A and B are shown apart, each in its own frame.
Chain A
Amino acid sequence: MTTTTSTPSRWERLRDSFLWYSFKRDRTAQLCLAVFICMVIAAFASPLLAPTDPYDLRQIDILDSELPPFWIDGADERYALGTDAQGRDLWSIVLYGTRVSLLIGFGAVMLQALLGVTFGLMAGYLGGRVDAFLMRLADIQLSFSTLMVAIVVGAVVKATMGSAFYSQYAVLMLILIIGLAEWPQYARTVRASVLAEKNKEYVDAARVMGLRSKRIMFRHVLPNTLSPIFVISTVQIANAIISEAALSFLGLGMPETHPSLGSLIKAGFDYIQSGSWWITLIPGAVLVVLVLSINLLGDWLRDVMNPRLYKG
């Protein structure tokens, strides 16, 4: 009974009142959301927007390699942003690369959230030994740093499965690796807000009514932990995209035939000494704009919603 009325009213409250009000007043937030949405649309519409298909080897001419972007002498009008070392159109490959980066970012955050929210709810609600075990595990993993965990897991998986297999399933592998490495962030945040919610009257009331703990957790406590989850999700997407880029840069991520923004930066880095800076810095700039717009949105959300975030 209570959930059907409380859940939608919470969302309505969020949408109708302060969140929307402050969004209307905040120029930075509007700009960031616009940039972010444009990039997402452009990335997922890349087959339509890109003049060439960078995955199709027949469309690539090695003679066209390392052509500069249009504002530099020696540019080719077919390639507005120039070409990379293999002669691929940089505009097309960046669009496709952004799609790969976003896909991995979203996928990894969904996995993190799934694991983290489940473990966080269990730890916070059940308490005792479950709590101690899960939180100690999260502590150890966090003290080892999430990037380190991702690198190690990536290295081990790559060594076990072999490079060819790893490249073939790279998107899935990266989602798994980054998802596994970052769940403690969610778990801690959810646990903190569950502990805060747990002692409130409505949970007692639900228990007195004889509801089972699983139902109380998912139907009563979880909706009230949504706003901190929402806030950290923005930051986590930005982090996941950066982690993916880092793994790809180290050669533990997307192969060059199917590049993400990170592997484009890595591939271009080899040519920076020869003066072809655009191969690495254009995908780099796209990555920064993407991550920056998400981070600024996250900052704004945190200020507006001001949830109980886990500190430290």
Chain B
Amino acid sequence: MIAFLIKRLMHAILVMFVISVLAFAIQDNLGDPVQQMVGQSVPESERAALRDRLGLNDPFLVQYARFAKNAVQGDFGYSYFYREPALEVIARHLPATLELVFAATLIIVLLSVPIGVYSAIKPRSPFSRFFMGASIIGISIPVFLTAIVLIQIFSIGMTVTLFPEGTAWGAWLNSALSTQGNMPSFGRGYDLVHVMGHWDTNLATWDGLKHLVLPAVSLASIMLPLFIRLIRAEMMEVLQSEYVKYARAKGISMRRVYFVHALKNTMLPVITVGGVQIGTMVAYTILTETVFQWPGMGLMFLDAINRADIPLIVTYLMIVGVIFVVTNTIVDLIYGFVNPTVKLTGKPA
């Protein structure tokens, strides 16, 4: 266990080091704090003095060391736009993003496992074929386009007049395909419940949940087909294995063969890939939050880019780096607990 944690920690430190160097290089090249601190009217000589005082003329490594030291202490500088500590701004936006990612992950897990397993067990059933076809279409639709289509259908509403209104079936098809469009598609709504600190939740009220539905479905739509296909492929491979054949030869019920013998082995690679995909999902929150004006970190980041709010961009990168490292570590731990061949517990074999 300890050896594993140390190894993970070393890896985490390496990743964070790379990210921080990159982040610092961005800040160093793009952010001119002097420009932000004083107006245009201040003479150049005074600026030079200020630069010197702030240590901006020190060698790169000295400056990086100062940056890293401050970052470790949670001091990432001030956001130009919000005029408050960048970390504070992030903390205010973090809960909205985390709730969105949580809801999307829930949708993915609840749908991908049953669909993937079913279509591996019965690869030729119409249901499986439908989902395999749907998943390749799903992979081909960019997440923001899914979001736009969802808004058109469920938020704006559609009036279909394609079929002849005069006939009974035409009228029925038209009304069946037309949608009301009353789902909210803008922001988190106002019916939020305060939990603690900066955390107001969408999950506690009906209105809050309604606001969460479309963004979460959009975010889930990009990963769901990938997971269905992955689970199906892994499960089909496992079902070919000797130990599954042996389990059947022992006279065990097929349900136990599928859900105990096969599923556990299927989930091992899925967990690994899942860890990487959670990272990808953070990137997709930028797109989803932009479409739905969801006031999370992604939208904040895009605004920061457009406002050239360098400290906020840098802080966002560092925080996302931390999120990746933490989720990857958690995923590795889960993997270790599910897979007995990984020695986590340090028990002698």
Q: Which residues of A contact B (CB under 8 A)?
A: 136, 140, 142-148, 151-152, 155-156, 158-160, 238, 242, 245-246, 249-252, 262, 265, 269, 272-273, 275, 277, 280-281, 284, 287-288, 291-292, 295-296, 299, 311-312
Closest to B317 in A: A152
Contact A238 B152, beta carbon cutoff 8 Å: no
On chain A, the residues within 8 Å of B18 by CB distance are 140
Contact B140 A295, beta carbon cutoff 8 Å: yes
Min distance, Cβ A125 to any Cβ of chain B, angstroms = 25
A312 and B145 in contact (CB under 8 A), knowing A148-B282, A238-B140? no
A159 and B148 in contact (CB under 8 A), knowing A143-B328, A292-B136? no
15 example contacts (A-B, Cβ-Cβ < 8 A) are as follows: A143-B324, A144-B320, A144-B321, A147-B280, A147-B283, A160-B29, A246-B142, A249-B290, A250-B286, A272-B151, A272-B152, A277-B156, A288-B140, A291-B140, A295-B136
Contact B136 A158, beta carbon cutoff 8 Å: no
Number of residues of chain B lying within 8 A (CB) of chain A = 45
In-complex Cβ contact of B144 among A159, A252, A265, A296 (8 A): A265
Expressed in whole angstroms, the Cα–Cα distance for A104 and B103 within the complex equals: 34
On chain A, the residues within 8 Å of B310 by CB distance are 159
In-complex Cβ contact of B273 among A251, A292, A299, A312 (8 A): A312
Closest to A295 in B: B140
Expressed in whole angstroms, the Cα–Cα distance for A155 and B27 within the complex equals: 13
Q: Which residues of B contact A (CB under 8 A)?
A: 14-15, 18-19, 26, 29-30, 136-137, 139-145, 148-149, 151-152, 156, 269, 272-273, 276, 279-280, 282-284, 286-287, 290-291, 302, 305-306, 308, 310, 313, 317, 320-321, 324, 328
Contact A269 B148, beta carbon cutoff 8 Å: yes
Contact A272 B140, beta carbon cutoff 8 Å: no
Expressed in whole angstroms, the Cα–Cα distance for A88 and B53 within the complex equals: 55
Contact A140 B156, beta carbon cutoff 8 Å: no
Contact A287 B151, beta carbon cutoff 8 Å: no
Min distance, Cβ A148 to any Cβ of chain B, angstroms = 4
Min distance, Cβ A11 to any Cβ of chain B, angstroms = 28
Contact A156 B26, beta carbon cutoff 8 Å: yes
Contact B30 A292, beta carbon cutoff 8 Å: no
Number of residue pairs across A and B with beta carbons under 8 Å?
106
Min distance, Cβ B164 to any Cβ of chain A, angstroms = 14
Min distance, Cβ B293 to any Cβ of chain A, angstroms = 12
Contact B283 A151, beta carbon cutoff 8 Å: yes
A249 and B144 in contact (CB under 8 A), knowing A272-B152, A277-B152, A296-B136? yes
Min distance, Cβ B90 to any Cβ of chain A, angstroms = 16
Expressed in whole angstroms, the Cα–Cα distance for A48 and B279 within the complex equals: 44
On chain B, the residues within 8 Å of A269 by CB distance are 148, 291
On chain A, the residues within 8 Å of B321 by CB distance are 144
On chain B, the residues within 8 Å of A140 by CB distance are 14-15, 18
List 18 additional A-B contacts (Cβ < 8 Å) besides A251-B302, A265-B148, A295-B139.
Answer: A140-B15, A143-B15, A143-B276, A144-B320, A148-B320, A151-B286, A246-B287, A249-B144, A275-B156, A281-B148, A281-B152, A284-B145, A284-B149, A288-B141, A299-B136, A312-B272, A312-B273, A312-B276
In-complex Cβ contact of A155 among B29, B136, B313, B320 (8 A): B313
Contact A156 B30, beta carbon cutoff 8 Å: yes
A250 and B142 in contact (CB under 8 A), knowing A143-B15, A156-B30, A281-B149? no
Expressed in whole angstroms, the Cα–Cα distance for A272 and B105 within the complex equals: 28
Min distance, Cβ A267 to any Cβ of chain B, angstroms = 12
On chain B, the residues within 8 Å of A272 by CB distance are 148, 151-152, 156
Closest to B278 in A: A145
Contact A292 B308, beta carbon cutoff 8 Å: no
On chain A, the residues within 8 Å of B324 by CB distance are 143-144
On chain B, the residues within 8 Å of A245 by CB distance are 142, 144-145
Closest 4 CB pairs of A and B: A148-B283, A292-B140, A145-B280, A291-B140
Expressed in whole angstroms, the Cα–Cα distance for A142 and B142 within the complex equals: 19
On chain A, the residues within 8 Å of B152 by CB distance are 272, 277, 281
Closest to B287 in A: A246
Min distance, Cβ A226 to any Cβ of chain B, angstroms = 24
On chain A, the residues within 8 Å of B136 by CB distance are 292, 295-296, 299
In-complex Cβ contact of A159 among B14, B30, B276, B328 (8 A): B30
Expressed in whole angstroms, the Cα–Cα distance for A292 and B141 within the complex equals: 8
On chain B, the residues within 8 Å of A273 by CB distance are 156
